[in-house]
Amino acid sequence: MCAWGGVSKGKKRRRPRRTFGPKPTMPVKRADAEKLKALIERASSGALSEEECAELRAVVETLEFVVRELDDKNLTLRRLRALFGLSSSEKLSKILPPAGDDGPPQEAGGSGAEEARDGPCGAGDDEAAGDDKPPEGHGRNGADAYAGAARVNVHHECLHAGDDCPSCKLGKVYEQRHRPQLLVRVEGQAPLKATVYELQAFRCNLCGEIFAAKPPEGIGEEKYDASAGAMIGLLRYGTGLPFHRLQRLEEHLGIPLPASTQWDVVKDAAEDLAPVYEELIRVAAQGEVLHNDDSSMRVLSLMKENDAIRASGQAPARTGIFVSGVVSVVGGRRVALYFTGRKHAGENLEVVLAERAAELGPPLHMSDGLGHNAPAAAEIVRGCCLAHGRRTFVEIAESFPAECKHVLETIAQVYKHDDECRELALEHEERLAYHVERSKPLLDELERWFERQFADRLVEPNSSLGGAINYMLNHWEELTLFLREPGAPLDNNECERALKKAILHRRNSLFYKTLSGARVGDVFMSLIYTTELDGGNPFDYLTALLRHVDDVARAPGAWLPWTYRATLAAPADEATAS
């Protein structure tokens, strides 16, 4: 021991061994509250006294309370794991127990459960496929996959068409024009490269005037080319690469590019791109279906405002900071928009719908069941996301396997029918009739099953299963909108995928400093993701816009992701007129 009573250096204090109580001899089983209450009633008429019955009743109620609390805690932990991307797959084969462990409830009846195992909601596709199918993502990319690569034609060093064969000396060689030998060469380079032009200069020894050579044609006087702004914006807002990381990378490659300079470049570029962003809002407002949702975002200036208001003792009207995603389906095309600030998704959707033509009817709207996702003033035909309703049962499948099995397999069958509509390339009216014929009977039976759970007191309304059933029943009309409205989607997955752009930025860059910075991010993300949805190249698109700033400002409709190539190919006078 040391003088001050501590353990001398070199010796570790051993912790006492933790002991565990004996394991139960019988397997742990979930107690049925109704059966236990009936047992108490029988015991009260037998050998037990009133005090003993009261004590047993208290023990049973305590056990029921503890089990319910544990279910709620486990549900919270599962949601927390999902928030950090640690949850397992939501595929049906991963959620439900193996066949034979728990069957569906007796009152469920047939619901196409076995057929649902082949559906899109995750039903055992991996197991059914066997080992013959190779996993996706493996293998080498062919030369055709390098769409952005430069193509160089290399002529044979000595042979020409019609020459004698160097091998057999008898035949004649001919060129394989459609089957050349291909060699792919991949080289490393900086995301932004720099070129220093040394312009020869002469100085008059009498008057001192300097005469410098002109820069090569097409170089210009600007230090940062339009492609530099496009690349920095794409790296930051398309792939989530923060400015300081790009600065460090470019330093390693001998090209100084301070983070502050990067911000100046993308800020100026966003001002030039803003007309197209506003035009995309006008286009999105005319959509037949509009998806929207929210995710949290950090804006330091707004967070400081919240702190100042709290310090003054006032209650802020709203402290939340959000990024809203809106995906509009317009004539088969999809437009993605982002809005960052204090407004909820429904309020931002109102801003979009304010640009809607008066002669158009109310659009179909798809989101989850939260009230702030719906616009308060604009007229819509609202639908709710079936995948959100499904997820409430996925989260509690461990606690209620039999009940969740019935619900999830029924929903899987509905998704299977929707996939069949897509494979058959059905029109909206034909798809509606297909679902009415095949999906409506399943969902009608599911609704009756939900109602029986409460009517027959098979489910406690305050339990997690009761909450999941209540969500479905409270939003049943919106969840089944696709059975009444042609073209109504089943879920809000379009917007969920779009919000991944903003979530990627939040995970890597953590925050925006100001609303001005958030506006820059919204502009770039909207243009980048809309171009991706249209199958285009975001870098080429942004570069084209930044090289034709004046033309873009005059006619932004001619510079949308699906129109700009035709505008570039048109003669100069036609492009200006459009």
Reported as a single tens digit per residue, the pLDDT across 182-237 is: 888 888 888 998 888 888 898 988 888 998 888 888 787 788 999 999 999 999 99
**Mean pLDDT for the stretch of residues 354-360:** 94
Residue 181 belongs to a domain: no
Cβ pair 111, 103 in contact under 8 A = no
Number of domains in the chain: 2
- On whether both 346 and 436 belong to a single domain, the answer is no
Can you tell me the distance from the alpha carbon of 557 to that of 553, in angstroms, rounded to the nearest whole number?
Answer: 10
Residue 151 belongs to a domain: no
Structure tokens at 456: 């027959």
Residue that is written with structure tokens 């496929």 in the block: 129
Beta pairing, strands 201-203 & 210-212: antiparallel
Could you read off the pLDDT of 95-105 as tens digits, one per residue? 666 655 544 45
Cβ pair 108, 406 in contact under 8 A = yes
473 half-sphere exposure, CB direction, 13 A CA radius:
16
Residue 306 belongs to a domain: yes
Can you tell me the distance from the alpha carbon of 419 to that of 475, in angstroms, rounded to the nearest whole number?
Answer: 23
Q: Give percent above pLDDT 90 in the chain.
A: 53
- On whether both 419 and 538 belong to a single domain, the answer is no
Residue 286 belongs to a domain: yes
pLDDT exceeds cutoff 80 at 163: yes
Task: Compare 275 and 27 and report the one with higher pLDDT.
Answer: 275
- On whether both 422 and 567 belong to a single domain, the answer is no
* 3-class SS of residue 402: helix
Q: Residue 457: which domain range?
A: 390-491
Q: How confident is the model at residue 177 (pLDDT cuts 50, 70, 90)?
A: confident
- On whether both 523 and 575 belong to a single domain, the answer is yes
- The DSSP bridge partners found for residue 335 are 328
- On whether both 457 and 310 belong to a single domain, the answer is no
- The residues, ordered by sequence, that sit 6+ positions from 374 with a Cβ below 8 Å of its Cβ are 346, 349, 365, 367, 380, 382
- On whether both 461 and 314 belong to a single domain, the answer is no
CA 499 to chain centre: 5
Residue 262 belongs to a domain: yes
Can you tell me the distance from the alpha carbon of 565 to that of 265, in angstroms, rounded to the nearest whole number?
Answer: 25
- pLDDT value at residue 46: 65
Residue 124 belongs to a domain: no
- On whether both 527 and 483 belong to a single domain, the answer is no
Q: How confident is the model at residue 300 (pLDDT cuts 50, 70, 90)?
A: very high
Beta pairing, strands 333-341 & 322-330: antiparallel
Q: How confident is the model at residue 122 (pLDDT cuts 50, 70, 90)?
A: very low
In what side-by-side order are the strands of the sheet with 333-341?
333-341, 322-330, 289-296, 364-367, 381-384
Q: How confident is the model at residue 24 (pLDDT cuts 50, 70, 90)?
A: very low
Residue 116 belongs to a domain: no
- On whether both 374 and 404 belong to a single domain, the answer is no
Burial code of 319-351, b = ≥16 C-beta within 10 A, e = fewer?
Answer: eebbbbbbbbbbeebbbbbbbbbbbbbbbbbbb
- On whether both 523 and 381 belong to a single domain, the answer is yes
Cβ neighbourhood burial of 515 (10 Å; 0-12, 13-18, 19+): middle
**Mean pLDDT for the stretch of residues 131-144:** 65
Residue 431 belongs to a domain: yes
- On whether both 523 and 570 belong to a single domain, the answer is yes
Q: How confident is the model at residue 137 (pLDDT cuts 50, 70, 90)?
A: low
Can you tell me the distance from the alpha carbon of 358 to that of 20, in angstroms, rounded to the nearest whole number?
Answer: 72
**Mean pLDDT for the stretch of residues 73-82:** 59
Could you read off the pLDDT of 381-422 as tens digits, one per residue? 999 999 999 999 998 888 888 999 999 999 999 999 999 999
Structure tokens at 358: 């008066």
- pLDDT value at residue 228: 95
- On whether both 372 and 520 belong to a single domain, the answer is yes
Asked which of 458, 476, 491 is the last residue of a domain, the reply is 491
**Mean pLDDT for the stretch of residues 266-282:** 97
Can you tell me the distance from the alpha carbon of 40 to that of 379, in angstroms, rounded to the nearest whole number?
Answer: 56
- On whether both 438 and 292 belong to a single domain, the answer is no
- pLDDT value at residue 61: 72
